[in-house]
Structure 1
Amino acid sequence: MAKGKHPEGGASLKCIELPPFSMPGELELLRQAKANFELFLATTPDFVYFKDRLHRFTYASNAFAQLTGFDNWHQLIGKTDFDIFAEDHAKLYFDSEREVIQQGKTLTELEEPYYDTEQQLCWVSSSKRPLRDEDGEVIGLFGISRDITRVKKLEAEIKYRDLHDRLTDLPNRYFYEQHAAAFIKQYDDAERIPAVMCINLDNFRELNDEHGTDVGNAVLKILARRLRATLRNRDLLCRFDSDEFVALVSPFRKRVGLDLIAQRFLLACSKPVVFRHHIVRVTCSVGIALCHRDALTAEGLLSSASTALTQAKQQGKNSYVGD
């Protein structure tokens, strides 16, 4: 595991002598409190830690120690995050904790990344509060972190489903609306013009009526894979509707490159699709819109490509039209 260098150096630890107690009962209470505290550190599933002003661990829960690859929390005493975590993560923790130690701030619901013992990226939600002496001076911090990796993964899955078509796993219309403008803007070059291509299957409704939705869905999944394979890695293919796909195509040096892509779309769709005992043949029509200076918006390009698609349908289908 990569280790970082503590930016503030490491001073030696100082022993603090406890004042004498005049009553035996007070010492017993202190011993009991210490025993309860250590029981808490040994049994809590949360990642609990205490640090001094130099960000060195003074106490920690066993759960936190085991997370960082130690057998028990005593092995953490005197160490900093830079001794334990990858440097980029340690610096992230250090920067946030400076606000606690130097400014006395309380931080809550702070989402922080870490790598587990198998080097898998995980997440915690942390709260960090200043520790003060009897004069009110900050002498360290107390932190508690709870693992939220499962929640983060669930959020990522939900976001992915929101942006992708469930049948074909292609990006959907919402994804296009969020990313098309940035895709187009990256090619700010008059000689390198991206394009939007609308692809629509010809007579797909009739295919569904004749063979049923199971066959229709299988055809869509197979053709989606074929269309995606036709494009380059830097291009984007989305599924908008039941039988409509939209491609964001990064620039070619010459217009003939777009013509070649459109011809490959036609060929990919015209090959027979075999599903169970069915052999299905379909075709597609394609409309192309180039990103000219007077049509730089994603909405304008999509509208132009849709108009070109309608013209391709009108001239006999299984063809493409571009500006």
Structure 2
Amino acid sequence: MVIPGEVFFHNQLAETPADAQTARILIVDDDVSLRRTLPHILAAPHREFDTADCVHAAIAQLEAGIFDLIVLDYRLPDATGLAVLDWLSEHERDEAVIMISGEDAIDAVIGALRRGADDYVRKPYHVAQLQRAVQNALHKRMLERANRAMGERLRASERLHRFLVESSPDLIFTLDAQGRFNYVNPRIEELLGFRRNHLLNQPFASLVLPEDSDRIASVLQAQHTRPDTSFTLELRLRKATDTAAGVSGHLAVALQGIPMLGRGEGGEGGYVGLYGIARDISERKRAEEIISFQAYHDQLTRLPNRVLFRDRLDLALTQARRRSGSLAVLYVDIDRFKLVNDTYGHSEGDALIRGVAARLSATLRRSDTLARVGGDEFTILLPDIGGVEDAEHTARKIQTSLEAPLALTHGDFRATVSVGIAIYPADGETCETLMQHADIAMYQVKRSGKNGYRFFAPELNTRHQGRIAIENDLRVALKLGQLELHYQPQVSLSQRRVVGVEALLRWNHPDDGLISPAIFIPIAEELGLIGEISRWVLEQACAQLAAWQKRGHDNVKMSLNLAAYDFDRGDIVAEVTDCIARHGLPPGQITLEITEHMMMQDTPGVTAKVRRLREAGVGIAIDDFGTGYSALAYLQKLPISALKIDRSFVKDLGGLMTNPIISAIIGIARGFDLDLIAEGVEHAQQAAMLRALGCDVMQGYYFARPVQADDAEALFSMPPRSVSG
């Protein structure tokens, strides 16, 4: 797709030498692998790459030659990348710079942008994100180069002697002392569509758009009092084909006026008229508009970007302080965006973002501002609100606007969003504070189930700080050996022995003690650490089972849980089978537990991976069966080996009370010839009732709590607690 002005700039570049079109890119990073791989990732026709591993080496490269773009790492061995930006500023260099950093602090971003960085890419980043940033930077530089070249030609042409006026590409004319045409060259007919003889003795002001008429009138009037002063200004001249002076009916020109002096009404040396040269600058103005737009707008949605949003928020805050008014900042994040992006690709993800942006825009007032500030994140400014109810009304309208599904290439998708709201002045008095508090409120909605809105409250800040502390500690918990496995026995009542154990992950925090996986597993998934943790759990569980078997406990099975993310990885089957083989275990001794929710999602590849694991002999159990939207069709489709009855059904058993859901699950297991395990058994009545219904294998506090490996092994040779009935 060709953007406005693109053909023009291509023509301009075609006039330059071929080597001038080659973009030189300098990659500055102390990571050897990145210096080696980035040129391949960013490779494209007419691009050349040089590399440097530190600030000193980068400056040496810059002193030796000119580059079009610098891809600059923030952290370097001898200084930060800001030193390179300072050097460029001191030497008045104009290389474009993309700063890459893993810094979380906003100060790093602000520092880079204030020193002239064109873009800032935060680690970790998608390859496509960096490629787009490089493409945008080079495209912007191409536009600036074309703009500079055009300006240089204009200035040069103004100094040259004009000859062959009749064939000049510019509009050349002379005016008398009253500002009327007494000569105009034939170019007028091509540029504006007027016949030159019809303009003679007509005022020049009749060609000027009304919006510019006062400026030209004052300039022409000034010639009578200062006849020795030439001038240059930009005007819009109307075309004969559109007397209403619409957008398509005018021409932008740069007008140079040179006063003509001589004997006339003003006496000797007085002003007798004006010599004018009007050059078409429509393409240059269009290029300037494109450059300005790209600097302050998101290229995908055409919405304001973070920079423009902050400017408007700062202005709105100033006005609110002056009027003692209120405003609201809304932080909006698309739920399940990663699912669409990872499943169907970035083009579908982009379509989803554009669709949500259109729905959000339709809910707002003309005075409101909607901006895209991140991959799937938007911010909304609501100035001049009457109270919190206005912000709540907008949040509800946003939820309502997304009730209808969005049409994507692969089918309809029902998008939802999480919205956080901060109110000025109650929740903050600065741009940074309001955006931060709205962001915190949005994340609280995410953690509470998504698809909703929430106002900021001071206690959320405390929780947010606590969560950040957990995130920081979790990043090093595995390396410091703080994670450990506990094992809960699974007992067969008919065999009166432990037939298996479930490996349960625990985090033994040095200060906070044992932390439940219900707290840290969702955080690990958000941070992208769940894959590393799952690999550790698999390795530890297999090693422990192998150790037990060497001591004669070869009739005990091991169950362990895998997250949905693990099945999104292409190597999960190989990881499981290789680990089992490496420890010399029979595959049938390992059972992987997956959630019913993951089974129902049926994401591409899950079915195939489950089938391959079953073909390798590994057991697959549906954990918490019956708590979701169970469907027998999925039990037929997926080669499941076992079902687990959720504790929520077991806890209501007792006395003469039975649970029809448990009876149904037991019937399903029998019908599909599946193993069955009941979890959460806490007293003898529950165990007896389950046994009477036909469930033989159970686990729960009635038999044993989750314990460490040595304590679990001691239970293997002990008969379980008896069950009457």
Whole-angstrom distance in 2 between the partners of 1:124 and 1:235: 35
Contact 1:112 1:125 in 2 (8 A): yes
Is 1:229 the counterpart of 2:358 in the alignment?
no
Kindly provide the amino acid, as one letter, of the partner of residue 189 in structure 1: R
Whole-angstrom distance in 2 between the partners of 1:239 and 1:245: 4
Counterpart pick for 2:392 among 235, 245, 259: 259
Cα distance, 1:263 vs structure 2: 2.4
Under a length normalisation based on structure 1, what TM-score does the superposition of the two structures give?
A: 0.76
Deviations 1:71-93 (A, max 9, x none): 224x4343323455455533321
Is 1:283 the counterpart of 2:407 in the alignment?
no
Is 1:198 the counterpart of 2:315 in the alignment?
no
Counterpart pick for 2:220 among 85, 92, 97: 97
Cα distance, 1:270 vs structure 2: 5.6
Is 1:79 the counterpart of 2:208 in the alignment?
no
Counterpart pick for 2:173 among 27, 49, 67: 49
Counterpart pick for 2:323 among 184, 189, 194: 189
Contact 1:266 1:283 in 2 (8 A): yes
Is 1:316 the counterpart of 2:449 in the alignment?
yes
| CA shift in 2, pair 1:59/1:189, >3 Å | same
Cα distance, 1:245 vs structure 2: 0.5
Q: Percent of aligned positions with the same letter in both sequences?
A: 28
The secondary structure found in structure 2 opposite 1:194 is strand
Cα distance, 1:271 vs structure 2: 4.7
Match in the other structure for 1:128: 257
Match in the other structure for 1:59: 183
Is 1:144 the counterpart of 2:277 in the alignment?
yes
Whole-angstrom distance in 2 between the partners of 1:293 and 1:47: 60
Cα distance, 1:288 vs structure 2: 0.8
Is 1:247 the counterpart of 2:388 in the alignment?
no
Q: Which runs of 4+ in 1 moved over 6 A?
A: none
Cα distance, 1:146 vs structure 2: 0.6
Contact 2:205 2:216 in 1 (8 A): no
Deviations 1:188-233 (A, max 9, x none): 433x422110001233223322332232222212111111122223
Contiguous gaps of at least 5 residues in structure 1: 1-38
Kindly provide the amino acid, as one letter, of the partner of residue 148 in structure 1: I
Match in the other structure for 1:12: none
Larger radius of gyration: 2
Whole-angstrom distance in 1 between the partners of 2:398 and 2:250: 39
Kindly provide the amino acid, as one letter, of the partner of residue 50 in structure 1: T
The secondary structure found in structure 2 opposite 1:197 is strand
Whole-angstrom distance in 2 between the partners of 1:202 and 1:86: 49
The secondary structure found in structure 2 opposite 1:317 is coil
Cα distance, 1:246 vs structure 2: 0.5
Contact 1:194 1:251 in 2 (8 A): yes
Whole-angstrom distance in 2 between the partners of 1:274 and 1:241: 22
Cα distance, 1:293 vs structure 2: 7.5
Contact 1:199 1:286 in 2 (8 A): yes
The secondary structure found in structure 1 opposite 2:202 is coil
Whole-angstrom distance in 2 between the partners of 1:239 and 1:214: 17
Where relative contact order (Cα < 8 A, 6+ residues apart) is larger, the structure is: 1
Cα distance, 1:282 vs structure 2: 4.0
Contact 2:207 2:238 in 1 (8 A): no
Cα distance, 1:166 vs structure 2: 2.2
Kindly provide the amino acid, as one letter, of the partner of residue 195 in structure 2: D
Whole-angstrom distance in 2 between the partners of 1:178 and 1:254: 23
Structure 1 stretch displaced more, 258-267 or 276-285: 276-285
Kindly provide the amino acid, as one letter, of the partner of residue 217 in structure 2: F
Match in the other structure for 1:179: 312
Cα distance, 1:168 vs structure 2: 2.0
Structure 1 stretch displaced more, 240-249 or 157-166: 157-166
Contact 2:395 2:419 in 1 (8 A): yes
| CA shift in 2, pair 1:153/1:92, >3 Å | same
Contact 1:100 1:107 in 2 (8 A): no
Whole-angstrom distance in 2 between the partners of 1:159 and 1:232: 24
Cα distance, 1:115 vs structure 2: 1.8
Match in the other structure for 1:302: 435
Contact 1:100 1:129 in 2 (8 A): no
Counterpart pick for 1:107 among 224, 231, 247: 231
Cα distance, 1:285 vs structure 2: 1.4
Cα distance, 1:105 vs structure 2: 0.8
Cα distance, 1:239 vs structure 2: 0.8
Alignment of 1:151-170 (within 5 A): 151-170=284-303
Match in the other structure for 1:6: none
Whole-angstrom distance in 2 between the partners of 1:46 and 1:101: 26
Whole-angstrom distance in 2 between the partners of 1:276 and 1:85: 49
Kindly provide the amino acid, as one letter, of the partner of residue 351 in structure 2: A
| CA shift in 2, pair 1:320/1:54, >3 Å | same
Contact 2:399 2:416 in 1 (8 A): yes
Whole-angstrom distance in 2 between the partners of 1:49 and 1:64: 9
Contact 2:208 2:236 in 1 (8 A): no
Kindly provide the amino acid, as one letter, of the partner of residue 49 in structure 1: F
Kindly provide the amino acid, as one letter, of the partner of residue 326 in structure 2: I
Contact 2:224 2:271 in 1 (8 A): yes
Under a length normalisation based on structure 2, what TM-score does the superposition of the two structures give?
A: 0.36
Match in the other structure for 2:692: none
| CA shift in 2, pair 1:207/1:59, >3 Å | closer
Structure 1 stretch displaced more, 117-126 or 87-96: 87-96
Deviations 1:126-159 (A, max 9, x none): 1111212285443322111111112212321332
Contiguous gaps of at least 5 residues in structure 2: 1-162, 457-725
Match in the other structure for 1:35: none
The secondary structure found in structure 1 opposite 2:439 is helix
Contact 1:170 1:237 in 2 (8 A): yes
Structure 1 stretch displaced more, 307-316 or 244-253: 307-316
Kindly provide the amino acid, as one letter, of the partner of residue 187 in structure 2: A
Between the two proteins, the alignment pairs up a number of residues equal to 282
| CA shift in 2, pair 1:124/1:271, >3 Å | same
Structure 1 stretch displaced more, 274-283 or 211-220: 274-283
Kindly provide the amino acid, as one letter, of the partner of residue 212 in structure 1: G
Kindly provide the amino acid, as one letter, of the partner of residue 311 in structure 2: Q
